[in-house]
Amino acid sequence: MPVRRPAPAAGKVAVADVAVVPMWGAGDRAGRRRRARSSAAGVESLYTELAPRVLGYLRAHGAPDPEDLLGEVFFQVARDYEQFSGGRGDRRRWVFGIARNRLIDAHRRRAVRPAVVDAPMPEVPADELADELIDPELVAALGRLTEEQREVLVLRFVADLPTRDVARLTGREVGATKALQRRGVAALARALQGADTNHRVIAAD
């Protein structure tokens, strides 16, 4: 006498009626390896292109440990790279958005737990391009600007972001960003006038 299998409960599917397919096959593993290699190459390319400018941005804003913070920025870039999609300009804005958030966090941590240094810290060799982008005299002059002016100028000329991207990162309208940039350039020129420097202040667009 044939054995009748009980019908599955409502809303369920009988196991015998379902084809079981392995979750990961050889093709899936190969695909993951290709994506991993592509991500590693993309992160390396971003680092080569943007790390000096990110370092200059962090130094200009007085980051407590800019080299260490640079590492934090690109650790997050590497971690989240596969989830990001966009063109070259979008990636630049994304990286500097991460840098800006990390910088804010670093300043907050320093405010809560001020660093105590008993002896002078040793000089850390810096990337030559980063030195060209932002030097101590320029950092000192930027320190005389308002926080809003300094942020706009550093994102615009050190990070080399378009004005519309600076506006998006700082939460301002493009017109307001350009006005801050003009005032910041004028203030920077005044701050540099008394210094014995060869800096040329770029006119605001």
Read off the CATH number of the domain in which 145 is found.
1.10.10.10
Give the structural domain span for 164: 135-205
- CB-count burial class (<10 Å; 0-12, 13-18, 19+) for 54: buried
Which one of 112, 147, 163 terminates a domain?
112
Q: What is the mean pLDDT of residues 176-191?
A: 92
In a domain, residue 118? The reply is no
- The answer to whether the CB of 198 falls within 8 A of the CB of 174 is no
From residue 120, alpha-carbon distances to 68, 170, 192 in Å are: 18, 35, 28
In a domain, residue 51? The reply is yes
In a domain, residue 17? The reply is no
The secondary structure of residue 83, as a DSSP letter, is: G
Q: In the chain, how many domains are there?
A: 2
Radius of gyration for the alpha carbons in the chain, expressed in angstroms and rounded: 26
Give the side-chain half-sphere CA count within 13 A for 98.
23
In a domain, residue 77? The reply is yes
In a domain, residue 20? The reply is no
Residues 108 and 140 grouped into a single domain: no
- Give 14's pLDDT tier (boundaries 50, 70, 90): very low
Residues 106 and 149 grouped into a single domain: no
Q: What is the mean pLDDT of residues 16-26?
A: 45
In a domain, residue 21? The reply is no
Residue with tokens 């080399």: 160
Q: Using a pLDDT cut of 90, give the percent of the chain over it.
A: 36
Residues 108 and 37 grouped into a single domain: yes
